[in-house]
Each structure stands twice: as C-alpha cells, then as structure tokens.
Amino acid sequence: MDSFLLQANTVSAASNVNSSYSYFPIGIQLLFALGFVVLVLGVTHLLGPKRRTAEKLRNFESGIASVGNARQPMAIKYFLVAILFVLFDVEVIFFYPYAVNFRALGWGGFSEVLLFAGFFLAGFVYIIKKGALHWED
C-alpha cells in the first residue's frame, strides 16, 4: 500500500507542470553551464602565457598609434545618432511578435499594430522636424 501511495505521489508531482520537480533539469543544466565556464576560465588562466612586457601592456587602438589625449570633447551628434538608432531599432523589434502571431491576433491586433506604427512614425517625424539628423558643421 505504501509503495502505491509513493508511486501515486511521484506521478502527480511529475504531471504537475508548475511543481518544483519540473525545474530540476533546468537547475542541473545551469550548474553544468556554470561549472563549464569556471573550468574553462581557470584552465586558460593556468595554462596561458604570462609574459607581461611593456610592449604588451601599452594601449593599442586598431593598429594606430595613440596620439594626444583621449578625453577630448566629441560632438553630441554622434551620441544622438547612436541613441536614435538604438531607440528605433528596439521599436522595430516589437513588430516581430505581431508578425509571428498576426492570424491569432485578428483585427484587434492589427489596429494596435497600426497605432504602434503611428506612434513610431510620429516620433520619427518629430526627430526630422527638430533637425536631429542634420549634420551641419
């Protein structure tokens, strides 16, 4: 009788998707991944070359010798373009879930994507009107 109850509890725990038992393989996989990373980093640190010469410790920038101070002010235009690129790139990524599920979302999803695209284009028009992409020196 006890073995029957033990077997019934095991089956019910395995059939319950949200039980902690179902997360056990994920935990083991994370432990193996973490152990592998620590092992590889430790082995490369132990076996790697350790010749610290003045030539190797000197700063290196794309094969070009450093000239002057690196703390010179840069034009804000470069940062502005980078921020705008990231902003619009992230907004475009939000179109992917709609493209995958467009049939399941129906006309309601289509209207919401049109609203999102409208906000997206309104932001782009605002940036153009403000002259954020004009590069006049």
**Other beta carbons less than 10 A from residue 40's beta carbon:** 10
Pairwise pLDDT comparison (80 vs 65), residue with the higher score: 80
111 pLDDT above the threshold of 70: yes
**What is the predicted pLDDT for the residue at 10?**
56
Element (H, E) at 42: helix 24-47
Which domains can be identified in the chain, with CATH numbers? 1-72 (no CATH), 73-137 (1.20.58.1610)
pLDDT at 32: 97
| Higher local confidence (pLDDT), 8 or 100 | 100
Q: What is the pLDDT of residues 22-63, one digit of tens each?
A: 888 899 999 999 999 999 999 999 998 888 888 777 776 676
Integer Rg of the chain from CA: 28
Q: What percent of the chain has pLDDT over 70?
A: 82
Secondary structure in 3-state letters for 98-130: HHHCHHHHHHHHHHHHHHHHHHHHHHHHHHHHH
